[in-house]
Every structure is written in C-alpha cells, then in structure tokens.
Amino acid sequence: MFIQTKAGDTSAEMVFFPGEAVSQSGPVRVSREEAAERSPLAERLYAVDGIEGVELQPDSIVLTKIEAADWDQCRTEIFSAIVAHYQSGKEAVVTTEPAGEFDAEIITQIKDLLATRIVPAVTQSGGDVEFHSYKDGNLYLKLQGSAFGMLNGITNMLKHYVPEIQAILDHREALPRPGLQTNEGKAIRELLQDKINPSIAAHGGHITLVDVQDSKAYVRLEGGCQGCGMADVTLKQGVATEIKSLIPSIEEVLDVTDHAGGTNPYYQPG
C-alpha cells in the first residue's frame, strides 16, 4: 500500500494519504470515545501511543498528536494501522443511513449474483470480487487479481440480470477527484476504457486513471500489470505515449502502483 504524508497546519498535525477512499460522506471528526462504534479506522489509530485526534477526509486522514509525541516514532505504527484497516475490508466510517427500499432490492440481487455466479468463477482463476456500494446506478466493486481481466464478462452478466445498473466501477472510483471530471480526465478514461484496457485484458491487466493534476496524469496498474517486470516499459513506451499524443497538455504520466504489494501472477515476496 502506497501511503503519502504531508505536514499539517500545525506541528501537532500530520496528513496521511492512503491512496484509497477514506470518508465518502465528507470530513468526519471522530473522538476517542465514539471511535469503537463510529469508525474502525479511527479506533485502530487511537491505539497508537501519542495520537489524540482523528479527522477522516474524503481521501486523507488528519491526525493530531500530543505535544510529547514524536512523528518519526509514531509513523511506523500509524502506517501499520492504516494498512491493517484496509486489509480488513471494513468501512472507515460506519454507514448508518439505510438504503431506499428499491435500492435495497437491487443490492440484494447484486450480492446474490456475485455469491452464486461470479465469485466462484473468478476465484478459480486466482482473483476475487466483492460488493462495495451501489449509488445512482453506479455499482462499485472491490476487484483483485484476475478479476480485472474478467471485468467485461462480469459487467455483461450483472447488467443482463440487473438492468438498473448503469456502470460498474472499481471501488476506488467512489472517491471524488476533481481532475477526473476535467476534459483531460474524461479523454484519458475513455482512451483507457475503449483502447488500452481491452488490449491488456487478455493478460489479466487493467489500468485505472487515479487523478489529473496540472500537467500530470496519475495511473494505477492492476491485476496482471501489478508487479509485472515489463510494467515500466508498458507504461513509458505504450500507455504514456498514447496519452500524451491524445492530450498534448499532459507532460508526465506517473505510476502510483504498489508493485511490491498484493498477490498477482508476477510478483512473489522473497
């Protein structure tokens, strides 16, 4: 997991960016007393000695330490707590708002199809797929390994049985990123969806646009591309070249993939 940090507004604050969606309901301050019921992530972070405040932003975590604590000493435990949370599959903030009756029926259908038809097929090839959320016709799934290469088949089956689904997206797409809504962001996503991803799907690969900021496009390599020894060549000589050719304003295409994490066909920890 690729976690970035930056200094907060004061020396007692530090901001952590896990590269995953954190709070999908906007900024949420969680006190130590309510953490056990309100936020599994905050509960883990309060277990780190020296942490006295947790605020969950859409894509970041703002932590406040006591005066006597040292960030260099806390950082490793904080990283471990964040990684353990995302490996657990739990929500960062417990959702209490119930889904509408109509959406609840759709979600039940989706979960049943995943459990009986899709997950068994995906796990046979070493992948996995899990329901994350459903909102406004968009279905967000947690995809792992070979599931990325099987996304077209998964999409066709789910849309066939549940026509209310308009789009099926990786769960990390649920995180709002202004850069994805720009003309450049939309053009890059269309290029990936229509041309690049279909060409690498046969190898179980998938590339997602994470964000566009200024003249930089940030992408994440998934499935068979994660940990692949040729990933750097594929990105620099293939994907980056096509993106820059299509959108001249993009000067750099940067890979934010954790190529040493997860389980995939190419990488095995030593």
pTM of the predicted structure, to 2 decimals? 0.43
34-38: long-range contacts, CB 8 A cutoff, minimum separation 24 = 37/94, 38/93, 38/94
3-state secondary structure the chain: CCCEEEECCCCCEEEEECCCCCCCCCCEEECCCCHHHHCHHHHHHHCCCCEEEEEECCCCEEEEECCCCCHHHHHHHHHHHHHHHHHHCCCCCCCCCCCCHHHHHHHHHHHHHHHHHHHHHHHHCCCEEEEEEEECCEEEEEEEHHHCCCHHHHHHHHHHHCCCCCEEEEHHHHCCCHHHHCHHHHHHHHHHHHHHHHHHHHHCEEEEEEEEECCEEEEEEEECCCCCCCHHHHHHHHHHHHHHHHCCCCCEEEECCCCCCCCCCCCCCC
The one-digit pLDDT tens for each residue of the chain (270 residues) are 678 999 988 999 999 999 888 987 678 888 988 888 888 999 999 999 899 999 999 889 999 999 999 998 898 899 999 998 988 878 888 765 555 567 888 999 999 999 999 999 999 988 889 888 888 788 988 888 788 778 888 999 999 999 999 988 877 666 556 677 789 988 998 888 888 888 777 667 778 888 888 888 888 777 655 554 455 555 556 788 889 989 999 998 887 764 344 433 323 333
Supply the pLDDT for residue 270.
Answer: 32
Q: Quick check: 37 and 93 in contact, CB under 8 A? A: no
Supply the pLDDT for residue 109.
Answer: 93
Supply the pLDDT for residue 154.
Answer: 92
Supply the pLDDT for residue 63.
Answer: 96
Supply the pLDDT for residue 264.
Answer: 36
